[in-house]
Structure 1
Amino acid sequence: MDWNTLKPLDLSKINFIDFPENHYYREIYDKKQVVFHHTVSGPGIRGDLNTWLSTSTRIATCIIIDRDGTPNQMFSSKYWGFHTGKGRRIDQHSIGIEFDNWGGLIKSKDSYKATYGNKVDVPVTHYPNGFRGYEYYESYTDAQIQTAGELLLLWKDIYGIPLDYKEDMWDISPRALSGEPGVWAHVSFRPASDKQDIHPQPEVIEMFKSIGK
């Protein structure tokens, strides 16, 4: 796909979720970072919502992007929820965004199993040298990557978040932890034993580089 043709997201594409106000913070802070996550779940966001709603910790991201590219919005990007595991200083000034995705997979003969042991039939990205403990991950779809790029362009316009591609985003980054503005991933903040989202799929990197020119 030609990521050079991406434009800021058409807001009519957003599916607005009725998400309770006591599960995020309706507080406005300057936004400096966008942090990518994936859900480690099957198709649909209901299970993810139920997980967030089952606690009072206000862990949530602004957007979950379905595999078909639909952006499901829990709350406005100007508000915030806990999502990096690095506390208020980071989370108040960052926008969390999730790909609906199984994450790391284990190959078993001619099939793949997700983290929970269930067999899955999904497109797979293979890392021969492994990435954070897994050789195989469910691939993010072109539709998801497109919507992610459109959201980044939108948030650049609204908040002035720089989109230059950061080579060090695929492991713990002192720059990310310092709050340096830009696009990061959960793996930029957390160790390999803890988090694997998102994985460095070539198409994702191509999109990041394209919009960051």
Structure 2
Amino acid sequence: MKRPLKKGVSGTGETRKVQEFLKALGHYKGALDDDFGPKTEAAVKEFQQKRFVTGIVNEFTYDALEEAFAEKNPPPVPLTIKEKQTFLKAKGYYLGAIDGMFGPSSKKAEKDFKLAEGLDARTNMRAALVKPDYEGVTSSFLRLGQYYDSVYPKKQIVIHHTAGGPSATATKNWWDSNPQRVATDFIIDQNGSVIRVFPKGYWAWHIGLGRPDLDSQAIGIEVCNYGYLTKQGTIFRNAYGGIVNNVYTLAEPYKGHVYYENYTDAQFASLDKLLRALIDEYEIPLNKDTFKAGQGGIFELMPEASSGKKGIYAHGAYLFGKTDMYPHPKLLSLLKNL
């Protein structure tokens, strides 16, 4: 190392390496941004606590970090081409035969996987490929051609409900029968189970403005729910005429409707876990002042949403006529507690 590294140093390349060591050793939780800020300093001090605490990385601390990292992370056993193809196939990036031939399809699959995960040449590919994307999420991919297999960075999360039945699988099968490439990354079943319908980084249409710059960079989450209901005597019917028994009555109308199918507690629990994982992975900022019903909230038209500003939005922030998701009090509480 060229000089001791301490708070305020950035852009050297060496700080990023220190952050990688600290992250691998469980001391650092932040971004690998090559900026020796407060989080990096705190992580250095935590590592040093059994030795001497200065918060500065001199050659002795750097050597100790490198030694501890090497001890915890022995050189990985290289993957065979067939192993790599098998893992990439399970992740949805490789669609060809497991033939041990590293041709154009295999190369694209590996490139897309690395782009989607933000990996570089130093990555332990075996560990990265074996690791599940998200806890509790099952992959059930749409057929090829039902989504766009190009990786884009993600800066928005858009929450929807399906305006349909309780089954995530049935929703996915409907999308598979529709040639328009309309889908969201995730679907949350009424029982709380979650499926992912195309590989990480890829995209499909889901916002409805016909703008690939928005859809390609927005992660969509669909919650299985019929949405607004009509009351007929003592019976509540969905938009298709079916009877719905699990009804939530809003204190104030939303988009002209007071009665909606109630989201389940299992859906809220899964949505909370998934949002937290995505926020952490993509460093999505939280403007909690917008997590409210009414003007200035994410359930009404927001210029910030259609301009591509980073954040979490309901579908109604992009299009006036959309009612998904609706401002259920439990949803508002969930968002404010992220």
Shared fold, TM over 0.5: yes
Amino acid at match of 2:328: Q
Separation of aligned partners in 2, 1:109 and 1:164: 41
Separation of aligned partners in 2, 1:81 and 1:28: 11
Q: Alignment partner for residue 335 of structure 2, among 202, 208, 211?
A: 208
Cα drift, residue 49 of structure 1? 2.4
Q: 2:305 aligns to what? A: 176
- Tell which deviates more after alignment, 99-108 or 76-85: 76-85
Higher RCO by CA contacts (8 Å cutoff, separation 6 or greater): 1
Q: 1:142 aligns to what? A: 265
Distance verdict in 2 for CA 1:153–1:69, change over 3 Å:
same
Pair 1:58-2:181 in alignment = yes
Q: 2:98 aligns to what? A: none
Q: Alignment partner for residue 152 of structure 1, among 249, 262, 275?
A: 275
Q: Does structure 2 retain, via aligned residues, the 8 Å contact 1:164–1:209? A: no
Amino acid at match of 1:204: L
* SS of alignment partner, residue 119 of structure 1: coil
- Tell which deviates more after alignment, 90-99 or 124-133: 124-133
Identity, % of aligned pairs? 34
Q: Does structure 2 retain, via aligned residues, the 8 Å contact 1:24–1:59? A: yes
| Alignment TM-score, normalising by the size of structure 1 | 0.88
Pair 1:24-2:112 in alignment = no
Q: 1:109 aligns to what? A: 233
Q: 1:84 aligns to what? A: 207
Separation of aligned partners in 2, 1:10 and 1:52: 22
Q: Does structure 2 retain, via aligned residues, the 8 Å contact 1:77–1:95? A: no
Cα drift, residue 10 of structure 1? 8.5
Q: Which runs of 5+ in 1 are unaligned?
A: 1-8
Cα drift, residue 152 of structure 1? 1.3
Higher strand share: 1
Root-mean-square deviation (CA, aligned residues, Å) is: 1.7
Higher helix share: 2
Amino acid at match of 2:263: Y
Q: Alignment partner for residue 191 of structure 1, among 320, 327, 330?
A: 320
Q: Which runs of 5+ in 2 are unaligned?
A: 1-131, 292-296
Q: Does structure 1 retain, via aligned residues, the 8 Å contact 2:188–2:194? A: yes
Q: Does structure 2 retain, via aligned residues, the 8 Å contact 1:64–1:99? A: yes
Separation of aligned partners in 2, 1:26 and 1:113: 38
Pair 1:71-2:198 in alignment = no
Deviations 1:41-98 (A, max 9, x none): 1221343223322222111001110111111110134211100012201101100100
Separation of aligned partners in 1, 2:168 and 2:193: 11
Q: Does structure 1 retain, via aligned residues, the 8 Å contact 2:161–2:225? A: yes
Amino acid at match of 1:159: Y
